[in-house]
Chain A
Amino acid sequence: MDSDEPLPDNRSRRAFLRAAGLGLAGGSSVLLSACGGASTARKEFFAGSSTVVVRDADVSILNGVLDLEHTAIAAYTAGIPLLSGHARTAAAWFLNQELEHAAKLEATIKGAGGKANPPRANYDLGNPRNGGEVLELLHTTESSLVHAYLVAIPKIGPGWLRAVAAGILANEGQHISVLQAVQGRAAVPSAFVTANE
């Protein structure tokens, strides 16, 4: 078994959280209701007898990282044609994963009753002219994502949502590691993935 395999199913998560007595639950099969005033409105997910509160602030945080995911998708889409060999294969794979991240964030935001930010019509990605410059652009973009998730995670309310974000952050760290190796740099230069490596 490797670290990137999905958890067995939602029952595991529910059992975990029930056992912890934390009153949390997550997963895809949830019902939604809303309560509270306009500025402090909260959306509550109900799964069984447990409740998870996703605040408007959480939706805002998720939209912030979604914006950067859209930027990354644009960067990979624009840059892949200038890459070749292993770098191109890796970038194409990472583009798929960025699309998965964006889809997950969008679904979570919508599930909480929020509106997911759409991609912009265009992005200022500079003017990379060759594979090396594209790799630098992708590295910079991934680093921005890592930083955004690091800032976001402590601010996200529900624990299960923090874990979702952490799982994506770790995947972005993996992307950086591969990109750095392709660039001839140390794949894992630091014990802490800080976005400054």
Chain B
Amino acid sequence: MIEGENTRRELVRGVAATAALAVAATVPTLLEPAGALARSGGALVKPSDDGAVLTSLLRVEQVVVFAYERTLTTAILSPSAQEVLTSFLDQERAHVHELSLDLTALGDAVPAPPTDTAGFESELRHLRIRRSPAGLRTQREHLRFLIDLEAVIARHYRFAIELLTGETRLWAAAEIMANEAQHATVLREMLTPGRVKRAVPSAFVAGIT
């Protein structure tokens, strides 16, 4: 489960923090500004607003990559599920690659990805995901966990698209957001085959008010 409201607040706090650090500062993320400051080791970087947004997206993508990797190595999956998740992992890695290139081009530092379970779970807490990956047993439980994560990342892209300014960057973010929505659809279809209303439950992905 996630708490979207808190996630958004933290996301915005990161952007606001970035705006305040216009002169010289480490790159805060939209998720955990203080932690990012600490982790970046004090390197002096002049962040752009788009850079802060990309950093946030990249950190969530890194968490998602770790989650797919962990699921593929620890879960007992059907061959078809294994195939689908492997494909999605490749696509999440492609997103990380794209975002990293863009972030580097902006002169911002690429955040370090989680490297162990403790780091992974720490990021999950920051994303307000309450479902612990440690307690997952069945394929269905693993799929639900990944659906939660796809929800988090789709929501981040949606808000990123509100905030980003670069045209090419906006285009890429929209392409990736749609891909994440497709992932969620296929994962839901795996949970409830043939139930299209569950696979594609809303006409407006990530919520439109």
Contacts and interface: CB of A to CB of B under 8 A. Distances in A.
Interface SS, A side: helix
A163 B181 contact: no
A76 to B, nearest CB: 13
Contact of A192 (B157, B172, B201): B172
A52 B9 CA distance: 20
A191 B94 contact: yes
Interface in A152-197: 153-155, 159-160, 162-164, 166-178, 181, 187-188, 190-194
**Size category, B interface:** 35 or more
A100 B203 CA distance: 7
B58 to A, nearest CB: 15
A12 interface: yes
B204 A162 contact: no
Contact of A15 (B9, B170, B188): B9
B137 to A, nearest CB: 21
A175 B94 CA distance: 22
Contact of B170 (A16, A89, A90, A154): A154
Contacts of A89: 196
A191 B65 CA distance: 13
Interface stretch (B33-41, B69-77, B112-120, B147-155): B147-155
Interface stretch (B21-29, B100-108, B161-169): B161-169
A130 interface: no
A187 B186 contact: yes
Interface SS, B side: helix
B161 A166 contact: yes
A150 B167 CA distance: 10
Given A7-B4, A104-B204, A166-B158, A22 B163 contact: yes
A124 interface: no
Contact of B182 (A9, A22, A94, A174): A174
A1 interface: yes
A10 interface: yes
Interface in A76-119: 86, 89-90, 93-94, 96-98, 100-101, 104
Given A159-B162, A167-B206, 9 more contacts: A4-B202, A17-B12, A146-B178, A154-B171, A166-B158, A169-B178, A171-B200, A181-B189, A191-B176
Interface of A: 1-10, 12-13, 15-17, 19-22, 24, 26-28, 86, 89-90, 93-94, 96-98, 100-101, 104, 146, 149-150, 153-155, 159-160, 162-164, 166-178, 181, 187-188, 190-194
Interface of B: 1-2, 4-5, 8-9, 11-13, 15-16, 19, 87-88, 90-92, 94-95, 98, 147-148, 150-151, 154-155, 157-159, 161-163, 167-168, 170-186, 188-189, 194, 196-197, 199-209
